[in-house]
Amino acid sequence: MIADNIKFITQRIASSCEKSGRSADDVILVCVTKEAAAGQIEEAIASGISNIGENRVKDATAKYGIIGDRVIWHLIGHLQTNKVKEAVRIFSLIHSVDSARLAREIDREAKRIGKRQDVLIQVNVSGEKTKFGISPDEIFDLIEEITPYSNISVKGLMTIAPEVEDPEKARPYFRALREIRDNINAVRGTPYAVRILSMGMSNDFEVAVEEGSNMVRIGRAIFEDC
């Protein structure tokens, strides 16, 4: 069942890529395991999953203890500064950096263990009060602030679109994030230094890929009813 779901999602990603004239290899599927048991995660890995997303550091610690470095770990949820130490130990990519203070903590901890921590800036494109992330007009300043830190590296941007019934309604938010990224690279004169666009979940990933997403975070469509 999980294997079938992953196969189906992979096909849908490929056809969205085709629609927008891109290669399917361009999109990384992050399998979101926050609701999944260890056995289900093993099944996903056996079906070809190599990127795992968790939204809580504490849950990830337990699962990392079992699964370890067989997969690449992504922190997709909000990160509190008191969890930075553990997060830097486990995660290859932290998707949720939204303040200079958090970035500074990550840099400090990464330096301590001799790591260069890759991160994404979480952007609240829709401006919803319930969402984490910085507002689009703060991104430049935040990136400028982080750039001198030698143990943290901004690889891209992440957003969560508003929950809407019709995924077409999410399209403008995805498009906006891509434009923000392209703008950053144009102004900084460093094409693709900020390359990753982490956007698209179970109910809207096809639209996100059509708008340039190269990292989708999918949970329910893989594990629901399994």
Ligand X SMILES: *Cc1c(COP(=O)(O)O)cnc(C)c1O
Residues that bind ligand X (CB under 6 A): 32, 34, 55, 76-77, 160, 201-202, 217-221
Residues 6+ apart with CB under 8 A from 111: 150, 151
* Nearest residue (CB) to ligand X, 32 versus 103: 32
CA–CA distance, 93 with 38 (Å, rounded to integer) = 21
Least distance (Å) from ligand X to the CB of residue 215?
10
Contact 74, 52 (CB under 8 A): yes
* Nearest residue (CB) to ligand X, 180 versus 208: 208
Residues 6+ apart with CB under 8 A from 141: none
* Nearest residue (CB) to ligand X, 16 versus 55: 55
Least distance (Å) from ligand X to the CB of residue 95?
7
Least distance (Å) from ligand X to the CB of residue 191?
27
Least distance (Å) from ligand X to the CB of residue 205?
8
Contact 87, 79 (CB under 8 A): yes
Residue type, 100: A
* Nearest residue (CB) to ligand X, 151 versus 202: 202
* Nearest residue (CB) to ligand X, 42 versus 59: 59
Least distance (Å) from ligand X to the CB of residue 139?
18
| Straight-line distance from the first to the last Cα atom of the chain, in angstroms, rounded to the nearest whole number | 6
Specify whether the backbone of 189 is left (phi greater than 0), alpha (psi in -120 to 50) or beta.
Answer: left
100-107: long-range pairs with CB below 8 Å, 24+: 100/142, 100/145, 100/146, 103/142, 103/145, 103/146, 103/149, 103/152, 104/149, 105/81, 106/151, 106/152, 107/146, 107/149, 107/150, 107/151, 107/152
Least distance (Å) from ligand X to the CB of residue 219?
3
Contact 94, 78 (CB under 8 A): no
* Nearest residue (CB) to ligand X, 184 versus 201: 201
| Chain residue whose CB lies nearest ligand X | 219
Which two tokens mark 144?
């400028």
* Nearest residue (CB) to ligand X, 27 versus 201: 201
Least distance (Å) from ligand X to the CB of residue 111?
27
